[in-house]
């Protein structure tokens, strides 16, 4: 099992798509899942919510592009000739823009043939695939690192050219989560009358290496960062369905307590976690069409 675990950790995403049932079961066991599941893996594109089984989907989709037209974040792409199969059929690449499981699933409503199953109407029914912790060696939760602090430190490392767009995104999500006492300190530091997403642009005008250092040190001690990364769950559009749980374990090598993200069967494979995972290459990736099936081993 140890060899399977090491092999599984090193698989890149492409190989993961092609992974055999044996490797996938090994991966599932490696992440501490209570009972093993047989995981069906094929080299398939990630289809929009509700796509029928692949052969039925290819037979039903008339390549009209309606799902693409109505997609608010415009994440649906159409297969090109050099992709070998399914030319003109819709698919999604999470790293270039994941499906956000829009309310009412407009892509499903727009599909004229039912290739996107008209029986579904909610994101939790999307059944696109399944997320897997494909790079446990880089996962910040397992390493005990906070995801926000990790991202701030990465931004600050690039001297003279802090990516203000990325910093703006991070601060916009952060400022409202600060406690009232923490907000007071930020107002004082950046000479603000209020602290809300509206004033992030004012903070950005005062960003330099010294103020970045202040933010990082502040956030290391802040209430919001007293836990390791849980960004995949926090950003999941159906996180109320608990598609990822975080389980404490003792690392057999170091004897230290570690926290493993464990993907649950409520995950629908939308890809938002892959898109938002802060590690240089996502530690969590989507396997299209993959399904849980509980078996006893």
Chain residues binding ligand SF4 by CB under 6 A are 48-49, 70-73, 75-76, 99-102, 105-107, 131, 133, 139-141, 147, 229-232, 236, 238, 243-244, 261, 267-273, 277, 279, 283-284, 286
Closest CA to 51 of 95, 2, 108: 108
Query: Least distance in Å: CB of 188 to ligand SF4?
Result: 31
The structure tokens listed for 125 are 């029914």
Which three-class secondary structure state does DSSP give residue 55?
A: helix
> Quick one: 99 or 115, whose CB is closer to ligand SF4?
99
Segment holding 159, helix H or strand E = none
Closer residue to ligand SF4, CB minimum distance, 11 or 105: 105
Nearer to ligand SF4 among residue 19 and residue 147 (C-beta):
147
Residues 139, 261: contact at Cβ < 8 Å? yes
Q: What is the nearest approach in angstroms of ligand SF4 to the Cβ of residue 45? A: 13
Residue 79 contacts residue 88 (beta carbons within 8 Å): yes
Helix (H) or strand (E) holding 70: helix 66-70
Residues 6+ apart with CB under 8 A from 91: 45, 46, 47, 48, 76, 77, 78, 79
Cβ 222 to ligand SF4 shortest distance, Å:
18
Shortest spacing between CB 240 and ligand SF4, in angstroms = 11
CB of 120 to ligand SF4, least distance (A): 10
- Other Cβ atoms within 10 Å of 206 Cβ, number: 12
CB-nearer residue toward ligand SF4: 8 or 279: 279
C-beta of residue 93 within 8 angstroms of C-beta of residue 286: no
d(CA 96, CA 278): 14
User: What are the structure tokens assigned to 90, written together?
Assistant: 């819709």
β partners of residue 78: 90
Rounded to an integer, what distance in angstroms lies between the CA atom of residue 282 and that of residue 98?
A: 13
To ligand SF4, the closest distance from the beta carbon of 216 in angstroms equals 18
Nearer to ligand SF4 (CB atom), residue 160 or residue 248: 248
Measured from the CB of residue 190, what is the shortest distance to ligand SF4 in angstroms? 28
CB-count burial class (<10 Å; 0-12, 13-18, 19+) for 97: middle
Least distance to ligand SF4, CB of residue 189, Å: 28
Tell me how far CA of residue 163 lies from CA of 65, 195, 270, in angstroms. 35, 21, 27
Q: Compare residues 186 and 285 and give the one whose CB is closer to ligand SF4.
A: 285
């Amino acid at each position: 099992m140890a060899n399977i675990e090491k092999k599984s950790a090193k698989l890149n995403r492409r190989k993961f798509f092609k992974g055999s049932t044996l490797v996938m079961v090994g991966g599932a066991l490696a992440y501490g899942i209570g009972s093993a599941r047989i995981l069906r893996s094929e080299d398939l594109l990630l289809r929009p919510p509700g796509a029928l089984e692949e052969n039925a989907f290819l037979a039903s989709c008339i390549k009209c592009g309606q799902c693409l037209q109505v997609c608010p974040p415009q994440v649906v792409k159409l297969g090109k000739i050099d992709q070998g199969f399914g030319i003109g059929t819709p698919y999604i690449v999470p790293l270039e823009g994941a499906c956000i499981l829009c309310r009412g699933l407009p892509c499903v409503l727009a599909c004229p043939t039912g290739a996107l199953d008209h029986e579904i109407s909610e994101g939790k029914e999307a059944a696109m695939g399944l997320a897997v912790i494909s790079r446990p060696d880089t996962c910040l939760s397992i390493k005990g690192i906070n995801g926000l602090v990790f991202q701030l430190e990465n931004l600050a490392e690039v001297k003279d050219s802090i990516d203000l767009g990325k910093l703006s995104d991070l601060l916009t999500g952060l400022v409202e989560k600060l406690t009232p006492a923490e907000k007071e300190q930020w107002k004082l530091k950046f000479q603000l009358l209020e602290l809300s997403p509206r004033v992030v642009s004012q903070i950005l005008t005062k960003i330099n290496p010294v103020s970045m250092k202040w933010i990082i040190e502040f956030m290391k001690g802040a209430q919001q960062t007293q836990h390791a990364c849980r960004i995949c769950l926090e950003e999941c559009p159906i996180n109320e369905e608990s598609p990822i749980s975080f389980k404490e374990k003792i690392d057999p090598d170091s004897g230290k307590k570690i926290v493993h993200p464990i993907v649950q069967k409520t995950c629908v494979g939308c890809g938002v976690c892959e898109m938002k995972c802060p590690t240089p290459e996502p530690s969590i990736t989507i396997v299209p069409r993959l399904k849980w099936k509980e078996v006893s081993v």
